[in-house]
Amino acid sequence: MGHRRSKGGGALSYYITTPIYYVNAEPHLGHAYTTIGADILARHMRQRGEDVFFLTGTDEFGEPVAKAAEEQGVSPRELADRNSERFRALMPKIDASIDFFIRTSDPGHGAKVQEVLQRVHDNGHTYEGTYEGYYCPRCADFKTPTELGPGNTCPIHEIVLELEMEQNWFFRLSAFQEQLEQLYEDDPTFVLPDFRRNEALAFIKGGLQDVSLTRPKLSWGVPAPWDPDQVIYVWFDALLNYYTALSYAREGEDLTDRFWPATLHVMAKDILKFHSVYWPALLLAAGLPLPKGLYVHGYLLMDDKKMSKSLGNVLDPFEVIERFGVDALRFYCFREVSFGQDGSISPAGFEQRYETELANDFGNLASRTLAMIERYRDGTIPAGEVDAALAGGDDGLGDLRVRVCELLDRAEISRGLEACWAAVRRLNRYVEERQPWVLAKGEERSSELDDVLYNLAEGLRVVTLLLAAYMPGTCDKLLAALGVDGRELADLGSRGGGAEVERIPALFPKLEAAE
Ligand code: ME8
């Protein structure tokens, strides 16, 4: 079961989002990771002919940004402009095929936030009250007693929190307890993976407290329409980006009916509570349809700690791309760390996988296949019989497409990649077993050689089409060299012989020695 749905028989609409990133610092590999993950799914669904909209952007209001700006001696607007631009510049570098980049400082966003929250207010889900409790300015989160670390600290940022008291508007989150429990019961895949669903449900069952919806004293935010002395608490303003973007992403067009509710929100576990509890409750309060699902992945770790700007142990994605290339980055993140789990990454790990898997497994399969077709058949893929021995089993090519599609329906990105890689290795073994260079020695085994070359070219075509969502640039080059025009995943098994192939330079050249 996945999160996909049909709108009246035509193409499925597939609306996928990443979190919008705080502009209090520059992007790091953690941000690239989520965005690449979502991009893999977006690209894959486009190859399946679905109507895709892929959104990312920046979260610009609220205390985390206002504080960082103060520390740097600039206005929040200046800091937001500067860092938002860096996030935007990251997108083409990581080959993220986004359809829109939202900034919460966009006027179109603010206006829509006000409209939705006015409805929440009019529907009677707000009241005025006094908040007293511990607030982490870096998380922009009011911590419940069970969420606090020892000595009233923030367990994520490891800082001591002040007791805050302020007058603000509350959102009646507690009133949605039953509806949320029901939602989790009715739709067991609302949050994936399962263990994250259980965490979210446990949080709900622990008893929901009302939460602040607005904050006084802050000027960097969207004013509450019914009380302009207060601004909307940044998390509610931020969550609404997923909905507001559709109303103004295309000038003169409202995409809301076409794409809302969202198919999948992708994020890491740090913001599970906001997405799995506050977000559906807010939508219910506004009378809006709920997203189909969330996928909550783990952390990229460096030296066994979460890579984060506040801990300072971050890898710069721009530098990684410079050294290894964008597709190696896209591959490595999902190969080294199983999507959904936490996992460590390191420059040494990059190098190793680059050499053993990209250069030796995939690069080598591609270059030897193209070289043999050129040498033995003048560059034309011969017609041949499909080899049943390659089709079956866990690493067989026969149902590879179906297996990868099923996995990616559940956002199992690493498992989808694993399935493709097993097929790459199987094709390399096939070359060793069938030894085309021996078959090429005399005319008498010519039709056997045709079959082997045909099966190799076909296997490589299928696996490369499936890998194209993961490593778009590399796979495009290889598919062009194999004479494949389209990128659709329908009817994968139908190509005969006859296409012309071209030899190309190594897809993954030897790395320069590190400085
Ligand atoms: O939380 N490993 O923004 P943010 C994996 N603005 N993913 C990581 C990561 C790591 N080490 N570090 C960051 C916010 N991420 C809010 C979101 S959404 C309505 C508002 C990724 O800049 C991951 O997706 O702190 C995580 O959830 C997100 O960046 C947090 O980004």
Q: pLDDT tens, 6-22?
A: 444 567 899 999 999 99
Residue 292 designated active-site? no
Distance from residue 268's CA to the centre of ligand 1 (Å): 6
How far away, in angstroms, is 310 Cα from ligand 1 center? 12
DSSP 441: T
Q: Please say if the pLDDT value at position 403 is more than 90.
A: yes
pLDDT greater than 60 at residue 249: yes
Q: Is 139 a catalytic residue?
A: yes
Which is more confident, 373 or 63? 373
* pLDDT above 70 coverage of the chain, percent: 96
Q: Is pLDDT above 80 for 274?
A: yes
* Atom 9, ligand 1: residue with shortest CA distance: 30
pLDDT bucket at 401, cuts 50 / 70 / 90: very high
Is 136 annotated in the active site? yes
Q: How far is the CA of 21 from the centre of ligand 1 (A)?
A: 6
327 touches ligand 1 (CB under 6 Å): no
* pLDDT tens-digit readout, 490-515: 867 668 889 999 999 999 998 876 55
- Check whether 217 has a pLDDT greater than 80: no
What average pLDDT does range 211-226 have in this prediction? 90
Q: How confident is the model at residue 311 (pLDDT cuts 50, 70, 90)?
A: low
Is residue 405 flagged as an active site residue? no
How would residue 171 be classed by pLDDT, with cut points 50, 70 and 90?
very high
Active-site position among 112, 154, 275, 477: 154
Average pLDDT over every residue of 157-172: 92
Catalytic site residue 154?
yes
Tokens representing 107 are 């006027």
- Is residue 306 within 6 Å of ligand 1 at its C-beta? yes
Global pTM?
Answer: 0.94
Q: Is residue 115's pLDDT more than 80?
A: yes
Residue closest to 243 by CA, chosen among 223, 265, 226: 265
Q: What is the pLDDT of residue 157?
A: 87
pLDDT of 219 higher than 90: no
- The whole-angstrom separation of Cα 212 and Cα 215 is 7
pLDDT band at 198 (very low <50, low <70, confident <90, very high): very high
Q: Average pLDDT in the 389-415 region? A: 93
Output the pLDDT for position 1. Answer: 40
Residue nearest to atom 31 of ligand 1 (CA): 21
Lowest mean pLDDT: which of 184-193, 234-243, 312-321, 432-441? 312-321
Would you call 157 a catalytic residue per the annotation?
A: yes
Mean pLDDT across 338-350? 92
**Which among 61, 191, 267, 269 is the best mutation to test ligand 1's pocket, defined by most ligand atoms within 8 Å of the CB?**
267
d(CA 93, CA 86): 11
> 265 catalytic, yes or no?
no
**What are the respective helix, strand and coil percentages of the chain, to the nearest 5?**
50, 15, 35
19 CB near ligand 1 (under 6 Å): yes
The yes-or-no answer on residue 420 being catalytic is no
34 CA → ligand 1 middle, Å: 8
Question: What pLDDT, on a 0 to 100 scale, did the predictor assign at position 79?
Answer: 95
Is the distance from the beta carbon of residue 271 to the nearest atom of ligand 1 less than 6 Å? yes
- Quote the pLDDT of residue 216: 87
Average pLDDT over residues 312-334: 87
Mean pLDDT of the chain: 93
- Checking if the pLDDT of 80 tops 70, the result is yes
| pLDDT, average across residues 377-383 | 97
Structure confidence by residue, pLDDT tens digits, 419-432: 999 999 999 999 99
Q: Does the structure show a pLDDT above 70 at 479?
A: yes
pLDDT for residue 63: 82
- Whether 21 lines ligand 1, by a CB cut-off of 6 Å, is yes
- Please tell me the distance between residue 147's alpha carbon and the centre of ligand 1 in angstroms: 18
As a whole number of angstroms, the distance between CA 265 and CA 296 comes to 8
Residue 390 has a CB neighbour count (10 Å cut-off) of 20
Residue 64: CB atoms within 10 A of its CB come to: 21
In the reported structure, the alpha carbon of residue 504 is separated from the centroid of ligand 1 by a whole-number distance in angstroms of: 39
* HEC secondary structure over 274-297: HHHHHHHHHHHHHCCCCCCCEEEE
User: Which pLDDT belongs to residue 6?
Assistant: 46
320: left (phi over 0), alpha (psi -120 to 50) or beta: alpha
